[in-house]
């Protein structure tokens, strides 16, 4: 038998091992407390498709109003309303790329104080979050970090959210 043929035959079992490894590409969501709003962690194995969604800001309540006239958070709603708007935008970005909200493994929330409350509205952000996670449509949740920031790009915004989604190839 020629050396080249021996090398190919020797490599076949190794190639066969590589196929199951690719098939095992997966995302594991880790949650120790079933009642918890967010995950403890998310594990993304090699070979998994991923998308990183840039920080998204809320849309104005009246999309017909010119940006130059949008002067206060009232033009965008409270923290809950803005959270729903931002997560809706993230959902649209993901769907255009073939992902769903259930594919999100990590969210980072940047929340500014609501001038009406004089503080961060963490409860409002969570209420908006609950419209997209732990629902009949999407029973999953995500790993998440929330940061209070002094301000966002404009004082009209109360929240900005970035996302990482992953799914099997």
Does residue 143 belong to any structural domain of this protein? yes
CATH number at residue 59: 3.30.1330.40
Rounded to an integer, what distance in angstroms lies between the CA atom of residue 109 and that of residue 106?
Answer: 10
Does residue 11 belong to any structural domain of this protein? no
Is 9's pLDDT higher than 50?
Answer: no
Does residue 2 belong to any structural domain of this protein? no
- Least Cα distance to 54 among 143, 161, 166, 167 occurs for 161
- Dig out the tokens for 20 from the structure: 């199951």
35-88 pLDDT, tens digit per residue, is 899 999 999 999 899 999 999 999 999 999 998 899 999 999 999 999 999 999
Q: In what order do the strands lie in the sheet with 104-112?
A: 49-56, 159-167, 104-112, 143-149
Does residue 150 belong to any structural domain of this protein? yes
Rounded to an integer, what distance in angstroms lies between the CA atom of residue 92 and that of residue 94?
Answer: 5
Rounded to an integer, what distance in angstroms lies between the CA atom of residue 149 and that of residue 39?
Answer: 23
Specify the long-range contacts of residues 45-49, CB closer than 8 Å, at least 24 apart: 47/21, 47/22, 47/169, 48/166, 48/167, 48/168, 48/169, 49/166, 49/167, 49/168, 49/169
Q: 71-87: buried (b, 16+ CB within 10 Å) or exposed (e) per residue? A: eebeebbbbbbbbbbbb
Choose between 12 and 74: higher pLDDT.
74
Asked if residue 49 lies in contact with residue 169, where contact means CB atoms within 8 angstroms, the answer is: yes
Does residue 15 belong to any structural domain of this protein? no
Domain that holds residue 37: 25-167
Is 28's pLDDT higher than 70?
Answer: yes
Is 22's pLDDT higher than 50?
Answer: no
Q: What is the pLDDT of residue 169?
A: 81
Is 11's pLDDT higher than 70?
Answer: no
Is 19's pLDDT higher than 80?
Answer: no
Q: What is the pLDDT of residue 139?
A: 95
Is 21's pLDDT higher than 50?
Answer: no
Q: How many domains does the chain have?
A: 1
Q: What is the pLDDT of residue 1?
A: 53
86-144 pLDDT, tens digit per residue, is 999 999 999 999 999 999 999 999 999 999 999 999 999 999 999 999 999 999 999 99
- Give CA separation, 105 vs 99, 137, 141, 167, in Å: 12, 17, 8, 9
Does residue 9 belong to any structural domain of this protein? no
Q: What is the pLDDT of residue 114?
A: 96
- Least Cα distance to 101 among 45, 41, 163 occurs for 163
pTM higher than 0.75 for the full model?
yes
Does residue 56 belong to any structural domain of this protein? yes
Q: What are phi and psi of 57, to 5 degrees?
A: -110, 160
Is 20's pLDDT higher than 80?
Answer: no
């Amino acid at each position: 038998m020629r050396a080249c043929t021996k090398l190919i035959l020797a490599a076949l079992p190794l190639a066969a091992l590589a196929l199951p490894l690719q098939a095992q590409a997966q995302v594991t969501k880790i949650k120790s407390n079933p009642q918890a709003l967010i995950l403890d962690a998310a594990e993304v194995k090699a070979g998994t498709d991923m998308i990183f969604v840039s920080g998204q800001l809320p849309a104005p309540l009246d999309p017909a109003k010119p940006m130059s006239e949008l002067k206060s958070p009232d033009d965008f709603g409270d923290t809950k309303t803005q959270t729903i708007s931002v997560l809706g935008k993230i959902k649209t970005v993901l769907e255009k790329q073939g992902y769903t909200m259930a594919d999100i493994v990590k969210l980072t929330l940047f929340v500014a104080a609501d001038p009406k409350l004089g503080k961060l509205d963490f409860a409002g952000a969570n209420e908006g979050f609950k419209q997209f996670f732990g629902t009949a449509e999407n029973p999953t949740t995500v790993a998440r970090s929330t940061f209070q920031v002094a301000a966002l790009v404009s004082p009209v915004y109360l929240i900005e959210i970035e996302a990482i989604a992953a799914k099997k190839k």
